[in-house]
Amino acid sequence: MIMNYFFYSLLAFLLALFLTPVVRLLMLRLGIVDKPKALARKIHKHKIALGGGWAIFLAFFLVVLLVFKFTGYSAPHIKSSYLLALFLGSLVLMIGGLLDDKYNLSPIKQLFFAFLAAGIVIAFGIGPEIITNPFGGVINLNLFSWSNTEWGNFFLFSNIVVFVWLMGMMLTTKILDGLDGLVTGIIIIGAVLIAALSLQTKWLQPDLAMLALIFAGACLGFLVWNFYPARIFLGQGGSLFLGFILGCLAIISGGKIATTLLVMAVPMLDIMRVIFRRWQKKRPIFQGDSEHLHFLLLQSGLNHQQAVLLLYLVSFLFGITTLFLQSQQKLMALILIFILMLALAIWFTHKEEKV
């Protein structure tokens, strides 16, 4: 079994490793590139190809197709309709992202593709029936439902949770994609931790672990080309796609949202801090700037690799605690991260005012 995980994860890695330079050459020929200094916050000096997410997309779904359709692999926790929903939602994001990379779509048009991808997941019935209550017991999300509809069962609270969760994940990875290799590496950490949890005796979901490790392998193959100095970027579609898949893995694997939250907590809270700062300064909240934590780390004196590796370490350390903590302890860990991020925000604000 362990050899199967290793083999198919390695296959996804090698496919992405091979496909990434092919995608890079294609994007350069099509003129789908990120121009240096096009915006004040951009730090690269040369034109760099966008659309790298296509390499991960192709590697991931080709290996998923091989494993779950042609090898007879048992997948009791993953319905075929779930895989179809992941594919269709991802395809929508990748096509929308390609259009955005080429034509620089407005924020509203960008959000349309994210809304549609989340809607596809809901329409195919992916969603938790219950979530763990950190204070004991569980919270039933199926209290208000409509059955026997044309689309199947509709569970109001469950669908709201799925929509908000996926939109939050996609927005986080989209905004987090500011330093070479940053978002890809953190997503790998999240996927590996979901796989590790899925293999624990308490859960024992080997098919979910396989899916997560294939995803991690594909991301790692791309990261070889995306780590500093990057030769290709994820592009808008790629950054949304990574958040979408990790968010779906957290849901399909039995509501491992707390695990993913701990991995993504620092960037998520940083985004909330930046949005509040933009509102405070009466600037458009979706307008990019250099106030995100990863840019502030560069301004504090860290080099590119140091800033990225530090954020990898923080995400890994908080994420790995989920292997040992109970639900209430996970809540306490999230509160601790919130306090630390609040203190960091106050420190950076004070430093800015002194300057």
* Interatomic CA distance for residues 267 and 271, integer angstroms: 6
Between the alpha carbon of residue 201 and those of residues 205, 294, 306, the distances in Å are 9, 37, 36
The tokens of 61 are what?
């779904």
**Phi/psi at 191 (5° precision):** -65, -40
Query: Does residue 73 have a pLDDT over 70?
Result: yes
Mean pLDDT for the chain overall? 85
Question: Environment class of residue 280 by beta-carbon count within 10 Å: exposed (0-12), middle (13-18) or buried (19+)?
Answer: exposed
Residue 324 confidence (pLDDT): 76
Query: Does residue 241 have a pLDDT over 60?
Result: yes
- Give the mean pLDDT of 227-244: 96
* Interatomic CA distance for residues 122 and 141, integer angstroms: 14
Residue 300 confidence (pLDDT): 78
**pLDDT more than 70, % of the chain:** 85
Convert the pLDDT of each residue in 298-332 to its tens digit: 877 889 999 999 999 989 988 888 777 766 666 77
* Interatomic CA distance for residues 90 and 83, integer angstroms: 10
Query: Does residue 148 have a pLDDT over 80?
Result: no
- Give the mean pLDDT of 138-145: 72
Query: Of 121-130, 162-171, 266-275, 276-285, where does mean pLDDT reach its minimum?
Result: 276-285
Domain definitions of the chain by residue range: 2-354
Between the alpha carbon of residue 93 and those of residues 5, 57, 68, 123, 324, the distances in Å are 27, 10, 23, 16, 35
Quick one: which of 276, 293, 294 has its CA closest to 285?
Answer: 276
Convert the pLDDT of each residue in 30-72 to its tens digit: 999 987 755 555 566 678 999 999 999 999 999 999 999 988 7
Q: Give the count of beta carbons closer than 10 Å to the beta carbon of residue 84.
A: 12
Query: Does residue 333 have a pLDDT over 70?
Result: yes
Residue 98 confidence (pLDDT): 97
The residues, ordered by sequence, that sit 6+ positions from 304 with a Cβ below 8 Å of its Cβ are 43, 179, 180, 228, 298
- β-partners of residue 42 are none
